[in-house]
């Protein structure tokens, strides 16, 4: 695709929910050490858009099978009630780095850990494990 005189490579598209007034956006890079499991199961208050800069990440959202995302690929999650099970470094010998743009709903935390009781109650919503 062309944007003016520049060539643009489209990495992904998503239809995020309408953002309520008072939302804010955070942009960050995250580096996971070799073999790091990433954050424990959690959810985000708003949508998250990401791009893998280097390495490989095991990515799993509630209701979807886990998948490996490689450098140069984009990913997203809707946030809200969906549990984010994993964003783990898939490589045992080198770091994985990704860029995220996170939309935070007004008066809510960006990331909230999910407890064992809730994980058990929602186990039927998790895709079968490999």
**Phi and psi torsions of 12, nearest 5°:** 175, 160
Q: Please indicate, yes or no, if residue 1 is contained in any of the structural domains.
A: no
Closest C-alpha among 47, 48, 43, 39 to residue 111: 43
pLDDT (tens digit per residue) in 2-58: 667 778 787 877 776 677 788 888 999 999 999 999 999 999 999 999 999 999 999
pLDDT (tens digit per residue) in 98-130: 999 999 988 999 999 999 999 999 999 999 987
Quote the distance between the C-alpha of residue 116 and its chain's center: 21
Q: Please indicate, yes or no, if residue 58 is contained in any of the structural domains.
A: yes
Q: Please indicate, yes or no, if residue 63 is contained in any of the structural domains.
A: yes
Longest dimension (CA), the chain: 54
How many domains are contained in the chain? 1
Helix (H, G, I), strand (E, B) or coil at 117: helix
pLDDT (tens digit per residue) in 72-86: 999 999 999 999 999
Is the separation of the CB atoms in 60 and 67 below 8 Å? yes
User: How are beta strands 74-77 and 111-113 bridged, if at all?
Assistant: unpaired
Q: Rounded to whole angstroms, how far apart are CA atoms 89 and 82?
A: 21
Q: Give the range of the structural domain holding residue 65, as residue numbers without chain letter.
A: 20-125
CATH number at residue 42: 2.60.120.10
Q: Please indicate, yes or no, if residue 118 is contained in any of the structural domains.
A: yes
Distances (CA, A) of 128 to 39, 65, 102, 120, 123: 20, 7, 27, 14, 10
């Amino acid at each position: 695709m062309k944007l003016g005189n520049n060539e643009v490579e489209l990495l992904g598209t998503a239809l995020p929910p309408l953002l309520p007034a008072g939302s804010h956006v955070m942009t960050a890079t995250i580096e996971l050490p070799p073999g790091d499991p990433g954050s424990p199961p959690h959810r985000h208050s708003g949508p998250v858009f990401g791009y893998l800069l280097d390495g490989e990440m095991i990515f799993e959202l509630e209701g979807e099978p886990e998948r490996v995302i490689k450098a140069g690929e984009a990913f997203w999650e809707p946030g809200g009630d969906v549990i984010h099970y994993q964003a783990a470094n898939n490589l045992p010998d080198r770091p994985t780095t990704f860029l995220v743009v996170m939309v935070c709903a007004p008066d809510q935390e960006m990331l909230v850990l999910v407890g064992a009781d809730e994980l058990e109650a929602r186990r039927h919503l998790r895709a079968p494990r490999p």
